[in-house]
Chain A
Amino acid sequence: MMLVQQILFIALLVYAITRFSRQVRKIRRNVLLGQDEQITGSRWKRWKNVLLLAFGQKKMFRNWIPAILHLFVYLGFIIINLEILEIILDGILGTHRLLLPLLQDIYPVFISAFEVLAVLVILACSIFLIRRNILHVRRFEHPEMTRWPRQDANNILIFEIILMLLFLTMNASDQALQLKHYGHYHAAGDFLITRPIAEGWKQFSPALLVAFERGAWWLHIAGVLFFLNYLPYSKHFHILLAFPNTYYAPLEPKSQMPLMESLLPEVRSMMGLAVENEPQQVSPPAHFGAKDVFDLSWRHLLAAYSCTECGRCTAACPANQTGKRLSPRKIMMDTRDRLEEVGRNIDANGQFVDDGKSLLDYISEEELRACTTCQACVEECPVSISPLGIILELRRYLVMEASRSPQEWNAMFTSIENNGAPWAFPPDERAQWAAEL
C-alpha cells in the first residue's frame, strides 16, 4: 500500500515538474524573441537592487498597509516552502515526518513558526480579497482589470487560503493522532496553532483522523504542484521573475532614453561628420522603434512577464489620474498578451507566421500620446518595470516609420529643424531676453 502511494507520488511529482519546466522554457523562448541588448553597468549595483527590491521589498513599503500584508504572504511562501521539502521527501521515501528524529525538540518550533505564518497568510489573503471585491480599492478597478485579470487575482488568493487550510488540517489531525498514540504518528511535540484544535478533534475516531491527515496531506501537495503549474499562466509568475527583472532593470537615470545606435551612422554621414569607429556591418533595424513585441528589447518582454498587475504605476500616472486612456499597467499587460499570442502562433506553426497583427493593435495611439514621460510609473513599480520604455519605443515607430504624429508635433519638428527651437522663433532673437537687463 505504501509502495503504491510512493509510486503515485513520484509520478505526480515528475509530471508536475516536467510540465512546469516546459512552460518556463516557452516563456524563456518568448522573452528571447525580443531584441538582443547588452547589459552594462556595475554587477554589484544590480545585485544590490535584487537584494533591496526583490528580496527586501523596499518599494512595497511606500505604501505600508499592503506592504505588511504582502510581507506575510511573501514570508509565508518562502518559509513554508521549507516544509514542502519534508513533505516531498516523505512522499518519495514513504516516511512520515522524516525530519522529526533529526531535529527532535526543535521540530515543533519550526512547525509552529510555519503554522503562525500560515495563519498570517490566510489573514492577509482574506484582507486582499476584501480590498479587491468589497472595498474596491481604486487601483484594482480599471477597464483592463475585468474578466481574466480579476479572476486570476482572486484565484491566487483563494488558492493560497485553501493550501494553508489544508496544511493546518493536516497538522491538526496529525496532532490528534499523536495524542491518541496511534500507529506511526509519534509524538512530535506541541504545534502552536494546531495543538488546541487537536484537543477538540480527539473525539473523532482514529480512522477518520487518518483519513483527514492523509487527505489533507495529498490535497496539499497536489495543490502545491497544481499551483506551480498555474504560475506560468498567471500574473503570479512575478514571484519568480521579480528577481531577474530587478537584476536586469536599467541602472541609468529614469529620465535617460537609450540611444538608437543603429541610426547614428546615417545621421553622422548626413551631417557630413566622419563615421568614425562605426562598425560598418551594423544592419539597419527591422523597424525604427517598435511596432511589435519582436522590436522591443528582451528586457521589456521579461518585464511584461514580471508584472503582477498591482497598478501602482497606473495610480501614480498623471494621464490616468486625469481621465486619459493611458494606463501604464495596461501597456505591460498588452505586451504580455501580444507576446503570448505570438508564442501560441509559434507553437502552432513551428515558427512565427505573420498574423497581420502587432502590438499597436493592442495599444492605441491615443494611449501612447497621453504620456508625459514623468517617470512616475517607473518610480512606483516595486519590481523595476518601465512601462515608459515601451511607450517611447512605440512612439519612435509611430513618428519615424509610420509618420503618424499630431499636426502640432510635425510643426514642432519642422521648427526645431529650421529654427533650432521648438517654436518658430529665429535663432537671432535668442539673446533678446538680455536686452532688458
Chain B
Amino acid sequence: MHIPTMAEWQAKGEMPELLYWVGCAASFDARAQRTARALATIFSRAGIRFGILGNEESCTGDPARRAGHEFLFQMMALKNIQTLNQYGIHTIVTSCPHCFNTLKNEYPALGGHYQVWHHTQYLYRLIREKRIQLKPVSQAALQSVTYHDSCYLGRGNGIYDAPRDILQALQLKVVEMAHHRSRGLCCGAGGAQMWKEEEKGNIRVNIARTQEALATGSSTIAAACPFCHTMLFDGLKHAGKEDEVQVKDIAELVAEHLA
C-alpha cells in the first residue's frame, strides 16, 4: 500500500479528507511505527482518503519548547505552518499527544488554524459512525486491559473518555490503575525528559508507573502516546515482564479487531 504525500495529492489536483501527522516517534521508532501502520490500515479500510507530509513534515517544536528553547520552537512552528497552509490543510489527525497539543493549542497564536484530532478521538468517531466494522466477540473477549492516560491528552486536553470508549467497543474489560484519569501518573517522558537522563532519585518514573500497571493484573497496557509506549515497554523490560505483558497503542488494538 502506498501512502500518498500531500505533494502527490496536490499534483493530482485533489484534496484528501485529512492529513495524518505522523510525528517523529511513529516515523522513526520501531514500536511507534506499528501505530502508524495500524492507523494507515484503519483509514484505508474505512475508505478515508488521507495524506502524509513525508519529508516535508518537521518536529512541531514541542520538546524544544518544553526544554526552554522558545526560539527554536517558533522557528519550527512557523516553518510547519507555512507548509500546512500552503497545502490548505484543514483537518489533521495525529497519533502523538504532544504533536496534538502543539498543533491544536499552540499553533493558532502563530497563524496555524486547523481542526486537530488525536487518533483516539478520530477512531472513536469512526467506530461510532460505523465507518469501520469490528470483529464480533472472540475468545480474546473480556480480556482485561489497563489504560495509561497520557498527560497531554488527559490533563492537558481533557481527553479521558475516547480511549476508554474504544476499549469498551473492542469488548475489552478496562481495569483502572491506582492513578488514572486526572490523577494519572506521568510515564516520565514529557517535558523533553525523553531526550535526557532522568535526574537523581529513588526510582525511575516509568518503573513506578509500570508497577501500577502490573498491579492491575492486565495482560495488556493500552497507550495512546508513542513516548508513554516506549517508557512503559522499558518499564516492563526492567520488571522482566515483557513476555507476559504487552504494551499496545489503542490504534494497534483497533486494527487487530477489524472485521
- Tell me, yes or no, whether A226 is within 8 Å of chain B by CB: no
Q: Please name all residues of chain B whose beta carbon is closer than 8 Å to the beta carbon of A323 when the two chains form the complex.
A: 200-203
Q: Are B195 and A324 in contact (CB under 8 A)?
A: no
CB-defined A-B contacts under 8 Å, sample of 13: A259-B106, A268-B78, A316-B183, A318-B209, A325-B200, A375-B156, A376-B183, A397-B68, A400-B69, A400-B70, A413-B64, A416-B61, A433-B33
Closest Cβ neighbor of A411 among chain B residues: B195
Q: Are B195 and A408 in contact (CB under 8 A)?
A: yes
Partner of A373, one of B1, B66, B74: B66
Shortest A372–chain B CB gap in Å is: 4
Closest Cβ neighbor of A373 among chain B residues: B191
Q: Please name all residues of chain A whose beta carbon is closer than 8 Å to the beta carbon of B198 when the two chains form the complex.
A: 324, 370
Shortest A415–chain B CB gap in Å is: 8
Q: Please name all residues of chain A whose beta carbon is closer than 8 Å to the beta carbon of B53 when the two chains form the complex.
A: 430
Q: Please name all residues of chain B whose beta carbon is closer than 8 Å to the beta carbon of A406 when the two chains form the complex.
A: 196-197
Partner of B75, one of A267, A374, A376, A422: A267
Q: Please name all residues of chain A whose beta carbon is closer than 8 Å to the beta carbon of B193 when the two chains form the complex.
A: 372
With A and B bound together, what is the CA distance between A372 and B62 in angstroms? 13
Closest Cβ neighbor of A270 among chain B residues: B75
With A and B bound together, what is the CA distance between A319 and B13 in angstroms? 50
- Tell me, yes or no, whether A286 is within 8 Å of chain B by CB: no
Q: Are A254 and B27 in contact (CB under 8 A)?
A: no
In B187-239, which residues have CB < 8 Å from any A CB?
188-205, 208-209
Binary interface encoding of chain A residues 98-118 relative to chain B, with 1 for a CB under 8 A from any of its CBs, else 0: 000000000000000000000
Q: Are B68 and A395 in contact (CB under 8 A)?
A: yes
- Tell me, yes or no, whether B147 is within 8 Å of chain A by CB: no
Q: Are A399 and B67 in contact (CB under 8 A)?
A: yes
In B118-174, which residues have CB < 8 Å from any A CB?
151-152, 155-158
Partner of B40, one of A252, A422, A437: A437
Binary interface encoding of chain A residues 215-243 relative to chain B, with 1 for a CB under 8 A from any of its CBs, else 0: 00000000000000000000000000000
Shortest A364–chain B CB gap in Å is: 10
With A and B bound together, what is the CA distance between A423 and B57 in angstroms? 14
Shortest B179–chain A CB gap in Å is: 9
Q: Are A318 and B185 in contact (CB under 8 A)?
A: yes
Q: Are A263 and B64 in contact (CB under 8 A)?
A: no
Knowing A412-B64, A416-B76, A437-B37, say if A425 contacts B28 (CB, 8 Å).
Answer: yes
Q: Are A255 and B2 in contact (CB under 8 A)?
A: no
- Tell me, yes or no, whether A271 is within 8 Å of chain B by CB: yes
